[in-house]
Amino acid sequence: MPDEQPKKPQQSPQPQLEDQPEPSPGPVPIEITPKMRDQAQKFFDRARDIAARGNPDYAAQMYLEGLLRDPDNLQAHQALLEQALRRQAAGGKKASLIATLKLKLFAKTAKLPSAGQAGSKNPVAELLQAEEIWAKDPQNLSVADMLVQKMMAAGCLESAKWLATWLGEFNARSDKPDGHRFSMLADVFAQLGQEDKAVDASRAALTVFPADTQLHAKLKNMLAAQAMRKGKYDDQEGFRQSLQEREAQEMLQDQESVTRRANIADEQIARARKELQQNPNESGKVMPLVDALLNKDNTQADQQAIQVLQNAHQQFGSYRFKQRAGEIRIRANRRQARDLRARLKDAPDDNQLAQQYKRMIKEHLEAELDHFQDSAKNYPTDMRLRFEVGRRLLQLGRYDQAIPALQEGQRDPKNHLQALSLLGQCFFKKKWYPDAIDLYSRALQSPDAVVGTIGKELQYNLGRAYEAAGQTEQAAKAYSVVAQADFLYKDVRQRLDRLRTENQNRSDAG
């Protein structure tokens, strides 16, 4: 009998990809010159000042003027969205038909940055045309869908990542999520190299269209491609080796990434400092240096940024420099408090450390209060600042001063519900329980007061106010709403058990 050849060990099956076209090259990031970035910053600074004075339409135009020169400026896109949501909440009108067809900028004649994609019109002009429409109708998700595509076409990849993520979260929270939107976002995330988000979006699309074979095939291809890139599957030893190699590579990449980020930050600081030194009378050169310093994310760089802003405030007299310095101090204080809180967590029985932390928090609150009071004095129409003043006064226990500030602050659409909630807390602390009940009840009538974070807080505090006022049946009803949404929310289960037992005992006794 001839010798049998030894059998080869069976290999683990490789994930199989279904037939599909070759992937197209990824999108090309746009390139912005330092000169255009500086020009854009002047418009962004002006937009912020104009928005604080209560002129949202003109502020939006200034943001768009800046984005025309620096279209992948993520902070500007985010600020424009926030401004648009405030405008809409205040009853601002949607864009007219003519406004949706034209962008009132010099897009046709200006030398615009371009990703250089052949066969298309100027992609930046098309992007801003879509964004101008969206700025007047921010909850029009069809326009937002188009805006993501325009960002991709213009090479504004960081902005596209942000907006695609925002769209996905907004769509997921919707009463009727749009499966087509999830599918579109899956393609966008895949092009942007965000595999995990692409897979999540595909799965979300399948929850809407569970029988869609094309969606199933898309998800299968994504998972298979992801698996093939993540490691070797020839055998168990190969798999372990793959893990070890990947871990070593990730450690090396992390070290290189930290070094590279530090080097880039230093280069940005040097470049921005040189620009300011060469143009000492241009206020637009200040913020790029400040932003570059803040990217270092350490105390020394923060202090340098504050000094730059203080010098600019003295030289140019613009309050925005002083305000930004105050914001940086708040950021530094919070970093300090975070570090001390971590130490306290490791030593929970250290009473001296606990007292130190308590004193620090009070000092930081006083400093924040001074900052927001000064900002509110300089920007009297910005009700967001009045809200921030009221919140700090409440945290410091100055309820009589907090109430008028929060009453003004509730006129800020973004903080309206939170201001009502904090007002209710003020009246509760003063033991004015009927007034607290009235405020919480009014807040809960808002369509925005769904049983999410703010909704649960309002319902729970309403129950507390009813309970303190001796209206235990109403308190139990309010707690019940919270318990049905989140059984583990604070101590709602214990309160509800106790109240129901007490109510039952009274009923039995009666």
- Each residue's pLDDT tens digit, 324-366: 999 999 999 998 999 999 999 899 899 999 999 999 999 999 9
The pLDDT tens digits for 363-418 are 999 999 999 999 999 988 889 999 999 999 999 999 999 999 999 999 887 888 89
Euclidean distance between CA atoms 315 and 111, whole angstroms: 33
Euclidean distance between CA atoms 330 and 425, whole angstroms: 24
Q: How many CB atoms lie within 10 A of CB 92?
A: 17
Give the pLDDT band (50/70/90) at residue 141: confident
DSSP 298: S
Lowest mean per-residue pLDDT among 85-99, 127-141, 493-507: 85-99
Euclidean distance between CA atoms 422 and 93, whole angstroms: 30
Give the pLDDT band (50/70/90) at residue 260: low
CA distances from 19 to 194, 196, 232, 263, 323 (A): 22, 22, 22, 44, 58
Q: How many CB atoms lie within 10 A of CB 148?
A: 23
Mean pLDDT of the chain: 81
pLDDT value at residue 99: 44
Give the pLDDT band (50/70/90) at residue 503: confident
Lowest mean per-residue pLDDT among 100-104, 136-140, 470-474: 100-104
pLDDT value at residue 1: 42
The token pair at 64 is 């768009």
pLDDT value at residue 18: 44
Q: How many CB atoms lie within 10 A of CB 352?
A: 8
Amino acid residing at 475: A
Where does 244-380 sit in CATH, by number? 1.25.40
The pLDDT tens digits for 290-306 are 988 988 878 898 999 99
Comparing 100 with 447, the larger pLDDT belongs to 447
Rounded to the nearest 10 degrees, how much is the dihedral formed by the CA atoms of 387, 392, 393, 395?
A: 130
The pLDDT tens digits for 405-454 are 999 999 887 888 899 999 999 999 999 999 999 999 998 887 677 645 78
Residue in the block written with tokens 């010099």: 106
Chain-centroid distance, C-alpha 191: 22
Chain-centroid distance, C-alpha 221: 31
Q: CB–CB of 389/415 below 8 Å?
A: no
Task: Give the whole-number percent of the chain exceeding pLDDT 70.
Answer: 79
pLDDT at residue 259 greater than cutoff 70: no
pLDDT at residue 102 greater than cutoff 90: no
With CA atoms as reference, report the closest residue to 62 among 39, 32, 87: 39
Give the pLDDT band (50/70/90) at residue 214: confident
Average pLDDT, integer, range 70-89:
82
Lowest mean per-residue pLDDT among 114-118, 259-263, 351-355, 485-489: 114-118
pLDDT value at residue 16: 43
pLDDT at residue 239 greater than cutoff 80: no
Q: CB–CB of 402/428 below 8 Å?
A: no
The token pair at 303 is 């202090």
- Burial pattern 249-281, b for ≥16 Cβ within 10 A else e, equals eeeeeeeeeeeeeeeebeebbeebbebbeeeee
Give the pLDDT band (50/70/90) at residue 6: very low
With CA atoms as reference, report the closest residue to 284 among 261, 255, 318, 235: 318
Q: CB–CB of 348/361 below 8 Å?
A: no
Where does 431-510 sit in CATH, by number? 1.25.40.10
Lowest mean per-residue pLDDT among 17-21, 178-182, 187-191, 432-436: 17-21
**Burial group, residue 122, by CB count within 10 angstroms (0-12, 13-18, 19+):** middle
Give the pLDDT band (50/70/90) at residue 118: very low
Task: Give the whole-number percent of the chain exceeding pLDDT 90.
Answer: 33
pLDDT value at residue 22: 45
Euclidean distance between CA atoms 104 and 456, whole angstroms: 44
pLDDT value at residue 5: 41
Give the pLDDT band (50/70/90) at residue 116: very low
pLDDT value at residue 203: 86
Euclidean distance between CA atoms 268 and 262, whole angstroms: 10
Give the pLDDT band (50/70/90) at residue 262: low
Comparing 4 with 224, the larger pLDDT belongs to 224
pLDDT at residue 234 greater than cutoff 50: no
